[in-house]
Structure 1
Amino acid sequence: MKAFTFALLTMVFWGLAPVFAKIGLIKTDPFIGLALRTFVISGIILLYGILTGKLGGLAQLDFRSAAFLAGEGIFASLLGHLAYYHALKLDETSRIVPIVAAFPLVTVAVALLFLGEKFNWYKLLGTLFIIAGILLIKK
């Protein structure tokens, strides 16, 4: 139940965030928007880490874990968000967000190919529904 609650919270937060981004980008270059977002979040994370004492956990990270987490940050927080901010700047939020939210298509394919996760018909059906949704929104 805890995982489901966190997933619902994520849905709400990620559902609200594009509206803030779209409004913030009206008079702002996407790079500047991303830089500001990154500075604010970095400050909050740093403060939280100091106040809770969790920042010391960075010293315990092994190289492989650190490299993969850094790679995730580069793909998601840098490249992904920069492309996303450009898309939001150029088109309607209600068209961009559903397309962006189709990222599970990539995740499922990579997880099946490289993580050895098991295929099942529910994953295929879900993937087809996502593709259908993208095609409908694109029109």
Structure 2
Amino acid sequence: MFNAYLFAGVAMLFWAIAPIFGKLGLNGIQPLAALTIRSLVISAILLIAVTAAGQWGSVTSVTTKNAVYIALEGICAALLGQLAYYYALKFGEVGRVSPIVAAFPLVALLFAILFLGEKLTLYKVVAALLIVAGIALLKY
């Protein structure tokens, strides 16, 4: 379990600094161009990493069903979500945009209940209310 918390903490730190780079990088360029640059750089790094790790077998052995789900997740998050996020960063304040975007677990919770049959628990309700309260505070 320690590794899960360690990785979550590392992810939090990278996601915390990413909007700063994004806001600075969007100065004078369109979000679509920025997303294209970001995606090309990440794609090159991933191609090198999967080759260096010798994991092409893992990539090519994925089932069609799993590949479709992963592709849809990428289209939703890495393309459409990221593009909307870049537009939000370009025209808004990082301190207001980031918390709203980071509230996606609220919507994911609803979708998980509706589409995956996950159970709604008291803790999930409290967490959802805290997210809503946090977003409401951004008004001030």
Q: TM-score range by the shorter chain?
A: over 0.9
Q: Using the alignment, how far apart are the partners of 1:106 and 1:32 within structure 2?
A: 28
For the pair 1:27 / 2:28, whether they are aligned, the reply is yes
Which residue number corresponds to residue 117 of structure 1?
Answer: 118
* TM-score w.r.t. length of structure 1: 0.97
8 Å Cα contact 1:25-1:33 kept in structure 2? yes
Contact preservation (8 Å) 1:99, 1:134: yes
- Corresponding residue of 1:42: 43
- Residues of 2 paired with 1:69 and 1:90: CA distance? 30
Unpaired runs of 5+ residues, structure 2, are none
8 Å CA contact retained: 1:46, 1:55: no
TM-score (norm 2): 0.96
Structure 1 match to 2:86: 85
CA distance in 1, matches of 2:77, 2:103: 14
Match of 1:4 in 2: 5
Cα separation, 2, equivalents of 1:72 and 1:138: 31
Name the structure 2 match of 1:97. 98
Structure 1 vs Structure 2: percent identity of aligned residues? 47
Aligned to 1:59: 60
Of stretches 3-12 and 113-122 in structure 1, the one that deviates more from structure 2 is 113-122
CA apart distance, 1:56:
2.4
Following TM superposition, by how much is the alpha carbon of 1:114 offset from its aligned partner in structure 2, in angstroms?
Answer: 1.4
Structure-2 separation of matches of 1:138 and 1:101: 16
Q: Return the offset for 1:138.
A: 3.1
Count of aligned pairs between the two proteins: 139
Q: Name the amino acid aligned to 2:38.
A: R
Give ranges in structure 1 of 5+ residues lacking alignment: none
1:108 maps to which residue?
A: 109
The ranges of structure 1 where at least 4 consecutive aligned residues each deviate by more than 3 angstroms after the TM superposition are none
